Amino acid sequence: MADIQTMQQTARPASAWRLDPPYGARTVLVVMLAALLLWYTGKRVEIDRMVALTAEGVLATVGLREHSQVGSGLAKIGSSLFPLQISERTETARIENFDPTDLPWLSYIETVEHRERTLNPTTLAMEESVETREYLVEPVGYLRHVLVKMLETLEIALWGTILAVALSIPLAFYGARNYTRNRLTYVASRSAVSLFRAVPELVSALFLVLAYGFGPIAGILALGIHAAGFLGKFYGEDIENADDKPQEALRAIGGNKVKVLWLAVLPQVLPQYIAYTLYILDRNVRMATVVGLVGAGGIGQELKGRYDIFNYGHVGTILVVIFLTVFVLDQISARLRSRYL
C-alpha cells in the first residue's frame, strides 16, 4: 500500500516529461577539438605522404602510372630474396678433421678443377697449372641450419614463458589486494609488475646481451621479464575478482591464505590463466625472433647476420621459415583452444 502511494505522489503527467537528445553542443565541440588534434599529429607523422605513395603504388600496379617508388622498392626486395638459399657448399679444406668416408646426411663431394695460367718467374713463360678443389655439398644444408635456429627460437620462447609464469606467481599473490601481506608488499609487487611491463623486450634484450653475452640467455630473460609483468597483472586481477563465497567458506573453518588460494581461487581462475599463458607463448614465439636481431640468440640473430652481409637468398629462406612456423603454431593453438577452453 505504502509503495503504491509513494509512486502516485512522484508521478507527473506525461506532458511534463522531458527526453533530451543523447548529446549536446559541448560533446560536439570536444569531438571536433579531438579531430583537430588528430589532424595535426597526422601531419607530423606524414600520413598524407603515406597515402600518396601507397595510392601511387596501387595505380602503378594496375598500369595507370609509369613508375612508383614504393613499387620498385618492393620489387627489388622481392627479386633479391629469390631464389631462396637452401643448400650449403663448403670447401673441404676449410672443414676441420674432414673425413670423406663419413659424410653428413644427403651430402656429396663435388670436385672442381681450377685452371690457372701463371707466369713462371725463372723461364718467363706462361704456364698452366691445374688445381683441384673439393667441395662438400649439402643440398638442404642451409635449410637444416635455419630449422635448427628456428627450433632454438621456439625453445627461447618456451623458456621465456616458463620464466614469466614462475616470476608472475609471487607477483600475482602479493599484487592481489585480498591476499597480499601488507601495504608494502602490495605496492612493491604492483610497481614491479608495472616496471616489467613498461620495458619492451627489445630494449631489455639490448642491455641483457651486454650483461650475458650473445646467445639465448639474454633472449629468455628479456621475454620472461616482460611477460611476467603482463601475467602478474592479469593473474593478480583475476585473484581479486574471484567469487568470494567459496573463499569465505574455507576461511571460516580456518584455512590459511595459501590453502584458500589453492583450493577456492585457483579452480575458478584456471581457464583464464591458461588462456593468458597461451597468449604469452604465442607472443613470445614472435618476439623471440625480434630479440634475436640484437644478438639474443635464435633465428633472429641468423637473420641479422645474413642481412648485414647482403646474403638476401639466405634472408629469404629465413623469412619463409618464420612465416610458416608462426602459421602452423597459430593453427595448433587455435585447435587446442577450441578443444580445451
User: Applying CB under 8 A, does 181 fall inside the site for another protein?
Assistant: no
Q: Among 57, 139, 215, 255, which residue sits at the site for another protein (rule: CB under 8 A)? A: 255
Judged by CB under 8 A, which stretch of 22-30, 86-94, 219-227, 248-256 contacts another protein?
248-256
User: Applying CB under 8 A, does 274 fall inside the site for another protein?
Assistant: no
Inter-residue contact 220 to 291 (CB < 8 Å): no
Query: CA end-to-end span of the chain, whole Å?
Result: 51
User: Applying CB under 8 A, does 258 fall inside the site for another protein?
Assistant: yes
Cα–Cα distances in angstroms (integers) from residue 155 to residues 142, 159, 339, in the given order? 20, 6, 24
Inter-residue contact 224 to 167 (CB < 8 Å): yes
User: Applying CB under 8 A, does 256 fall inside the site for another protein?
Assistant: yes
Dig out the grid coordinates for 287 from the structure: 618476439
Closest approach, Cβ 16 to another protein, in A, equals 30
How far is residue 294's CA from residue 255's CA, in Å, rounded to a whole number?
Answer: 49
User: Applying CB under 8 A, does 259 fall inside the site for another protein?
Assistant: yes
* 20 DSSP 8-state letter: -
Per-residue contact string for residues 135-174; x = within reach of another protein by CB under 8 A: ----------------------------------------
Inter-residue contact 296 to 200 (CB < 8 Å): no
Q: Nearer to another protein by C-beta: 89 or 181?
A: 181
User: Applying CB under 8 A, does 248 fall inside the site for another protein?
Assistant: yes
User: Applying CB under 8 A, does 254 fall inside the site for another protein?
Assistant: yes
How far is residue 102's CA from residue 218's CA, in Å, rounded to a whole number?
Answer: 36
User: Applying CB under 8 A, does 11 fall inside the site for another protein?
Assistant: no
Q: Nearer to another protein by C-beta: 2 or 126?
A: 2
Q: Nearer to another protein by C-beta: 78 or 271?
A: 271
Q: Nearer to another protein by C-beta: 109 or 263?
A: 263
118 forms beta bridges with: 127
Cα–Cα distances in angstroms (integers) from residue 109 to residues 63, 134, 138, in the given order? 49, 7, 9
Judged by CB under 8 A, which stretch of 16-24, 31-39, 215-223, 261-269 contacts another protein?
261-269
Q: Among 81, 163, 222, 264, which residue sits at the site for another protein (rule: CB under 8 A)? A: 264
Phi and psi torsions of 138, nearest 5°: -110, 110
Alpha carbon 9 to chain centroid distance? 64
User: Applying CB under 8 A, does 252 fall inside the site for another protein?
Assistant: yes
Judged by CB under 8 A, which stretch of 71-79, 116-124, 147-155, 256-264 contacts another protein?
256-264
User: Applying CB under 8 A, does 36 fall inside the site for another protein?
Assistant: no
User: Applying CB under 8 A, does 251 fall inside the site for another protein?
Assistant: yes
Q: Nearer to another protein by C-beta: 127 or 243?
A: 243
For another protein (CB under 8 A), the number of binding residues is 21
Q: Among 184, 187, 195, 270, which residue sits at the site for another protein (rule: CB under 8 A)? A: 270
Written as one string, the DSSP assignment of 209-262 is HHHH-SSHHHHHHHHHHHHHHHHHHHHHHHHHHS-HHHHHHHHHTT--HHHHII
Judged by CB under 8 A, which stretch of 118-126, 156-164, 200-208, 263-271 contacts another protein?
263-271
User: Applying CB under 8 A, does 211 fall inside the site for another protein?
Assistant: no
How far is residue 328's CA from residue 149's CA, in Å, rounded to a whole number?
Answer: 17
Written as one string, the DSSP assignment of 150-214 is HHHHHHHHHHHHHHHHHHHHHHHHHHSTTT-SSHHHHHHHHHHHHHHHHS-HHHHHHHHHHHH-S
User: Applying CB under 8 A, does 245 fall inside the site for another protein?
Assistant: yes
Binding site for another protein (CB under 8 A): 2, 245-246, 248-256, 258-260, 262-264, 267-268, 270
